Structure 1
Amino acid sequence: MKLAVVGGGSTYTPELIDGFARLRETLPIEELVLVDPAEDRLRLVGGLARRIFARQGHPGTVTTTSDLDAGVAGADAVLLQLRVGGQAARAQDEAWPLECGCVGQETTGAGGLAKALRTVPVVLDIAERVRRAAPDAWIIDFTNPVGIVTRALLQAGHRAVGLCNVAIGFQRRFAGLLGVTPEQVHLDHVGLNHLTWERGVRIGGPEGEDVLPKLLAEHADGIAGDLHLPRAVLDRLGVVPSYYLRYYYAHDEVVREMRTKPSRAAEVAAIEAELLEMYGDETLDEKPELLSRRGGAYYSEAAVALASSLLRDTGDVQVVNTLNNGTLPFLPDDAVIEVPATVDANGTHPLPVPPLDPLFGGLVANVTAYEDLALTAAVHGGRDRVFKALLSHPLVGQYEYAEALTDRLIAHNREHLAWA
């Protein structure tokens, strides 16, 4: 079995490598290829990856290359974890929206649109090259904004599934609170990427006992603290929203915080610099503790489980980003939703989803419409398309804001926009 990781020079890659090494019985990789144009980073990350495999006794080989076509040739699965423009572009995404009084964030709102515009054309080019070099490969997308990127891949006819770590993070958190194994916890997880709610927490499977009321009664303070939301919000909603819902439920509060605190981009850049220095230590043969502050907790477990289900035809139930195809009847069939699905060699098959309360469904419909406009702007370009996408977003929604944000987005991303 051959896997390729495009964006393999990321400082986060050792987390993925650690998962591959620990879970080798679940996903028996014979060849792992890390692909990245940044050869200096690739050398450091690749060296640590080999040492992690050696320490844990993994028999597979780890190779590195800057040649995308060679790296993905003959692969069974290709994982995408790109950041077009690097942390510098992320820092801009977090800054210029604040000038207009809007949330500055890399996947949500105006900053998320900028990332989509930079990323979608690059990912589609990579996917076409994967199709030529490895026509039967599955593409597993962890590149944000996952919903829009996955929709682009699927609309272009690629064998693709989107992956996010929000659901597995909640699964692990709830399992710890309940004193059960994570495998016993099944989430009634529904929505779009970075716009989801946990409407039920069932023990033993999709038909098991729903213990969410018990969780909220006994642990709502701690859960609300993790989400940086008042407990009263959870009590009134009766569900657990993802962290990203804070940008919607407390937008103005978040903007005030962002204007007074160091940006997440600056924090991550500092962590990355320290991590790269650590990766250069040839005695290091395990992922460093500092990596936990980089973000993406449990991604390796989620990636291994998804790849195993696709390549080994296991039929497991996992939370994925996949085509709606009637699952949420108020959305277009080609919308990409984030729900539990059975995963096998033929792809993903969403489980039935009970009707959404209008409080949640209305926001899902609104953001789905934005994502459609965002994808159109990313594929075809043009200032007017960017403006319409911003105007449609519930975190923008005003003509003057959309105009000002459009100008700033183009100005800060011109080098990444072929049409600008």
Structure 2
Amino acid sequence: MRLAVLGGGGFRVPLVYGALLRDTAKPRVEEVVLYDVSPQRLEVVAHVLRGLAAGYDDPPRVRTTTDLDTALRDASFVFSAVRVGGLAGRTADERVALELGLIGQETTGPGGVAFGLRTVPVAVRVAERIAALAPRAWVINFTNPAGMITEAMRRVLGERVIGICDSPIGLVRRAAAALGLDPARVSPGYAGLNHLGWLYGLEHEGRDVLPRLLADDAALAQVEEARLLGPDWVRGLGAVPNEYLYYYYFTREAVAAGSGRTRGESLLEQQDRFYAGVRERPGDALAQWTRARRERDTSYMAEAREVTGAGDRSAADLEAGGYEGIALALMAAIARGEPTTMILNVRNGTALPGLPADAVVEVPCAVDASGARPLATRALPGAFLGLAQQVKAVEQTVIEAALTGSEHLAVTAFALHPLVDSVSTARRLLDGYRARIPELAAVFPG
């Protein structure tokens, strides 16, 4: 099988290749084609992959290209992890919002709207090329905002595009471990949107053990989301929220924490240093990437953990891995017909009451050779559902704005977001993002 990786010069691509190296079942991915607009970044990542492959008898072959059609042709799977505007665009996503006293984050709030507005047109064009050159390929989307981009690509590819995220499975893993249970032997009750979901149940041997977790202070203290949001708040909700709900429940604190260097600014500096270092010392590529990865992982949501006193990330979390394992499990389930259940971003249908049938939601799914099918979920409580409905309306407005070039709809998307406080501010957001992000200005030239 051939896997095309879009955004193949990205820092986290070695994680995917590492997972492929450990996969020995048949059929397996035998060739990886890395596509990126930057040949320099592709060269750096190729050096890291060669280091990872050393010692393996039959590692997947690696090719690199800056031509999208070359990457897509004859692909069995396409992994999409592109960042339109690069990390410079991410820093603008954060800073423009913060300068207006709003949340500065790449997927949540106005930053997520800006990211979506410039990414949706690119994602749809990519989907069209996939439909033309690899119509039987399955597309695994990790391009953020993942739910929104998956929904946009579905207009072209239908059921053959599936969105993934590592946040829900990480939450389930932490909740199970806190109760001394094997995460592989629990069934999560989880529902919502990408970066906006809640763990409302955790079944083990026919019993919901989540109430036991919520009642146990010592166990809750082992769950990062509970430390981040506070055990009393989580207990009061009756569910453990996805970590990104921090930005909704602790908005003022999150804005205040953004007064220093933002996550995007930190990553931009770190990754510039990494890519430059490998170009200077390619023989040391793997060691440099390993150090940079450790720094990146340990600093994840550091500003939020500092404000709330959540402490450092646990060693178990750092070693457990993330989206690369989800991508591999999804490919294995489809390619080898290995049935499994996973939390994925798929078309809702009737799975999550209260949201449109064509909306992409994040829910447990049954996966096999025919693809992913959402499982029916419990109706979300009103406070959860209302927030999910409002954010989904924003996502769908972003898609329409981006595909039509409508400035009015772009302003509407900002204004409708629950983390934006006025229509006037929404207009200032669009102007600010247009001034700093050329890729967004190209969609809405003004």
Give the structure-1-normalised TM-score: 0.93
Q: 2:422 aligns with which of 376, 398, 412?
A: 398
Q: Which residue of 1 aligns with 2:213?
A: 215
Q: Which residue of 2 aligns with 1:233?
A: 233
Aligned to 2:373, the other structure's residue is in SS state strand
Aligned to 2:443, the other structure's residue is in SS state coil
Q: Which residue of 2 aligns with 1:188?
A: 189
Q: Is the 8 A contact 1:330 1:365 kept in 2?
A: yes
Q: Which residue of 2 aligns with 1:291?
A: 293
Q: Which residue of 1 aligns with 2:131?
A: 131
> CA–CA distance in 2 between the matches of 1:70 and 1:111?
32
Residue 167 of structure 1 and its aligned partner are, at CA, apart by: 1.4
Residue 332 of structure 1 and its aligned partner are, at CA, apart by: 1.1
> CA–CA distance in 1 between the matches of 2:187 and 2:26?
20
Deviations 1:389-410 (A, max 9, x none): 1111111142222222222122
Q: Which residue of 1 aligns with 2:171?
A: 170
> CA–CA distance in 2 between the matches of 1:253 and 1:125?
38
Letter in 1 for 2:261: P
Residue 59 of structure 1 and its aligned partner are, at CA, apart by: 3.4
Letter in 1 for 2:377: V
CA gap of 1:121–1:369, structure 2 versus 1, over 3 A, is same
CA gap of 1:238–1:334, structure 2 versus 1, over 3 A, is same
Residue 209 of structure 1 and its aligned partner are, at CA, apart by: 2.5
Residue 100 of structure 1 and its aligned partner are, at CA, apart by: 1.7
Deviations 1:366-393 (A, max 9, x none): 1111111111111111221111111111
**Unmatched segments (≥5 aa) in structure 1:** none
> CA–CA distance in 1 between the matches of 2:399 and 2:379?
26
Residue 26 of structure 1 and its aligned partner are, at CA, apart by: 7.3
> CA–CA distance in 2 between the matches of 1:180 and 1:26?
30
Deviations 1:146-184 (A, max 9, x none): 111000011223420001111121233234323343322
Q: Which residue of 2 aligns with 1:110?
A: 110
Deviations 1:250-307 (A, max 9, x none): 1112111112x21101211232134332585325557614314435941110110111
What percentage of residue pairs aligned between the two structures are identical?
37
Q: Which residue of 2 aligns with 1:269?
A: 268
Q: Which residue of 2 aligns with 1:201?
A: 202
> CA–CA distance in 1 between the matches of 2:278 and 2:183?
31
> CA–CA distance in 2 between the matches of 1:292 and 1:171?
23
* Match runs of 1:214-363 below 5 Å: 214-216=212-214, 217=216, 218-223=218-223, 228-259=228-259, 261-276=260-275, 277-278=277-278, 280-285=281-286, 288-295=290-297, 297-363=321-387
Q: Is the 8 A contact 1:391 1:397 kept in 2?
A: yes
Q: Which residue of 2 aligns with 1:368?
A: 392
**Unmatched segments (≥5 aa) in structure 2:** 301-320
Aligned to 2:212, the other structure's residue is in SS state helix
Give the structure-2-normalised TM-score: 0.88
Letter in 1 for 2:185: Q
Aligned to 2:437, the other structure's residue is in SS state helix
Q: Is the 8 A contact 2:4 2:75 kept in 1?
A: yes
Letter in 2 for 1:182: P
Q: Which residue of 1 aligns with 2:83?
A: 83
User: Superposition RMSD on alpha carbons, in Å?
Assistant: 2.0
Letter in 2 for 1:288: T
**Quick check: 1:35 aligned with 2:35?**
yes
Q: Is the 8 A contact 2:4 2:78 kept in 1?
A: yes
